[in-house]
Structure 1
């Protein structure tokens, strides 16, 4: 098992029970990367791994789960980050993205992918803002269709851990 998978287990990021996922699907287990990354050792390990494996100008994350991953990866790579708002705001500058992305090669980071909806939303927002965005790195791929859904939109999905490796 890889080091990230070991840390997911150590920080109890897998819970068993009856859950409804963001996609609306029902599941007997829940992957809680958001809580696990509140531990600096885990967050740093993820960030170092992403910074080591992938090239990018800017790393981006969709609020809320992708934000700590994007910030930590930016620090590890010494490159800028961007935040994609989960909802449009109706005040101020009304920008859906915080950070400079136009004309940049963006790597979108996600905590968990299931159907790929959040990743597709993030990539769409980035592309609409003039970014070159066609890659998503997820900490855990639940292996429930995200890769195929993203591939259909010319987006590559890379995972640090597949759920089949830790269940």
Structure 2
């Protein structure tokens, strides 16, 4: 039911270049399911079941992971952190905002994973600061090598749905 709602709301057909540079005839406009408060809440409730015991902070990646982690924080009661692609050039000049990650067990939260590149980029910054997430969570794993790429750098990925599950939903 939830997979079919995501599919109806956000699946597009056409010619799309993904972040990885690969071309796909299927694209999930995650901002469509992230902008629907009832659907986003339902996604967060289900995603909460994937949050490992002992997690102290949920860290969402800019930009698509931010609405998800915010709603997931509301559902779980866990504080949220927001991971920028680049540190801001003013104020605190940080790349990680919100709840502190230092000395805490945290997970990374993303919307759709294709190659895993955005998570790997964030992981490099975090590891350089001595921070290591316990795992990564996403709404949709496109099943295009992202999970394997993350495993190759020591991070496991748990997806609410795979592309196959979303595509096969009615």
Instruction: Summarize the alignment of residues 48-67 of structure 1 with structure 2, pairs less than 5 Å apart.
Output: 48-55=45-52, 56-67=55-66
Residue matched to 1:146: 146
The secondary structure found in structure 2 opposite 1:132 is coil
Instruction: Summarize the alignment of residues 9-88 of structure 1 with structure 2, pairs less than 5 Å apart.
Output: 9-11=7-9, 13-55=10-52, 56-88=55-87
Residue matched to 2:127: 127
Structure 1 unaligned residues grouped into runs of 5+: none
Tell me if 1:4 matches 2:2: yes
Q: Deviations over 1:92-134 (max 9, x none)?
A: 1211100211011111111100000011122333333443313
Q: Distance in 2 between matches of 1:156 and 1:9?
A: 25
Q: Distance in 2 between matches of 1:63 and 1:109?
A: 10
Q: TM-score, normalization: structure 1?
A: 0.91
Q: Deviations over 1:125-146 (max 9, x none)?
A: 3333443313111101111110
Asked whether the equivalents of residues 59 and 83 of structure 2 are also in contact (C-alpha less than 8 Å), the reply is yes
Count of residues paired in the alignment: 164
Q: TM-score, normalization: structure 2?
A: 0.90
The secondary structure found in structure 2 opposite 1:112 is strand
Q: Distance in 1 between matches of 2:166 and 2:47?
A: 19
Q: Distance in 2 between matches of 1:6 and 1:62?
A: 25
The secondary structure found in structure 2 opposite 1:166 is helix
Asked whether the equivalents of residues 104 and 132 of structure 1 are also in contact (C-alpha less than 8 Å), the reply is no
Q: Deviations over 1:57-89 (max 9, x none)?
A: 100111110000111111111110000112222
Q: Distance in 2 between matches of 1:143 and 1:72?
A: 25
